[in-house]
Amino acid sequence: MREFYRRHRGLHRWLLAVVALLAVYFALRPVPGLMNWLSRHVIMPWERAVASVCYLFRTSMAEVAYIVLLSVGIFYVANVLRRMVTQPHRGRTLYRFFLTVVCSGLSIYAGFCLLWGVNYYADSFQQQSGIYARSCTVEELEAVTADFARQLAQAADNVQRDENGCFAVSRQEIFAAATSVYAPSYEEFPCLRMKDHTPKAISCSTALSAMDFTGFYFPFTGEANLNVDCPASFLPSTIVHEMAHQRGIASEQECNFIAIAVSLASGDPVYRYSGLLMGYVHLGNALYRADPDRWQVIRDTLPDTVVADLRQNSAYWAAFEGPVNDAASRVYDSFLKSNGESRGVQSYGTVVDMLMAYYG
């Protein structure tokens, strides 16, 4: 046994170190004061410093990292298969392969825990802002949904449209305006104040769509990354959502609320329209589940332009429904639950409770 350990000493030490690190993380993450200190004074300053370097490049460094990791993985597997065929000690080779995969996976997971998981246990946006989610009556939900629909109908004429009446603002224009969107909200929400950089567009956006992702924040590079293949009507509010993650807000439901509230307060007609659209979808879905007839009355008030944007978005995502989409959703659902989002992917719907608290 001692000889076996020495033969694979490096991998065994790697495994023990990662397991020990994860054990310490899981033991200490319930300590709110410690997680707050780590997030505010260590993790987020580090990520912003790394981001300031990564934003010197137009290409997403997160995408580069994924491509490099995938390429190295393919090369490594091919090399292991070659050694299994051409060299003796196949059991030893297979064991090293298995242990390397386990150590690599655990190391990446540990990195996410330290660079991102900590934020799930620091003060939430609700605690920092004083805006707490609350339940509501169907009548209250109907009133706020109707108000969003009314504002949405008015805002629809303030954005450029194509010959089919669909949202046609260029993505370049949307990205260019991103760095100034948060500024009008700083006085009300000082916890959101930080220096912004133009978010990154992902070249392999179709792959993101297949996994049901409109964007993602990558804590290893501090970048906000966006899917630019899907319809652009939701792109502005999605950008605000991913930029909320850059501010250390981990909860998806809180970032959706921030995306809506900041977009509406931005003063930019494109971002305002997109924020209203996102807000209406969340509120409308909740109202439809509670009372389809009330939802239909409000739905009938929307102009054709808004209806065209909603249909275009629905048709796009419907084309990607399938096993890959389902698998990606299950993986992300498990990740959310492992970090305290007890409702998993369904936590996105809880944004309605925050909207009711703020706009109700």
Domain layout of the chain by residue ranges: 2-120, 130-359
| Largest Cα–Cα separation, the chain | 76
Is 324 in contact with 208 (CB distance < 8 Å)?
no
What are the beta bridge partners of residue 224?
A: 217
Distance of alpha carbon 100 from alpha carbon 104, whole angstroms: 6
Distance of alpha carbon 247 from alpha carbon 212, whole angstroms: 23
Is 58 in contact with 71 (CB distance < 8 Å)?
no
* pLDDT at residue 240, as a whole number: 98
Q: Which of 225, 241, 252, 238 is nearest to 62 (CA)?
A: 225
Q: Which of 206, 207, 249 is nearest to 224 (CA)?
A: 249
Q: Residue 346: is its pLDDT beyond 70?
A: no
CA angle, 99 then 113 then 17, to 5°: 40
Give the confidence band of 336 by pLDDT, cuts at 50, 70, 90: low
Q: Which of 234, 227, 244 is nearest to 167 (CA)?
A: 234
**What is the average pLDDT across 103-116?**
96
SS3 81: helix
- Which residue reads 């949904």 in tokens? 145
Q: Residue 273: is its pLDDT beyond 80?
A: yes
* pLDDT at residue 107, as a whole number: 97
Would the CA dihedral through 101, 104, 106, 108 be positive or negative?
negative
List the structure tokens of 196: 């912004």
Q: Residue 330: is its pLDDT beyond 50?
A: yes
Distance of alpha carbon 178 from alpha carbon 237, whole angstroms: 10
Distance of alpha carbon 351 from alpha carbon 282, whole angstroms: 7
Q: Residue 230: is its pLDDT beyond 80?
A: yes
* pLDDT at residue 135, as a whole number: 87
List the structure tokens of 48: 């912003």
In what helix (H) or strand (E) does residue 155 lie, and over which residues does it extend?
Answer: helix 138-155
> Between 310 and 7, where is the model more confident?
310
The CA-based dihedral angle spanning residues 188, 261, 356, 286, taken in that order and rounded to the nearest 10 degrees: -160
Q: Residue 159: is its pLDDT beyond 90?
A: yes
Beta strand residue intervals within the chain, DSSP E: 200-202, 215-218, 223-227
In what helix (H) or strand (E) does residue 325 lie, and over which residues does it extend?
Answer: helix 323-338
Is 314 in contact with 245 (CB distance < 8 Å)?
no
Burial 236-263 (b: 16+ CB within 10 A, else e): bbbbbbbbbbbbbbbbbbbbbbbbbbbb
* pLDDT at residue 342, as a whole number: 53
**What is the average pLDDT across 207-236?**
96
pLDDT tens digits, one per residue of 89-103: 788 888 889 999 999
DSSP secondary-structure letter at 230?
S
SS3 24: helix
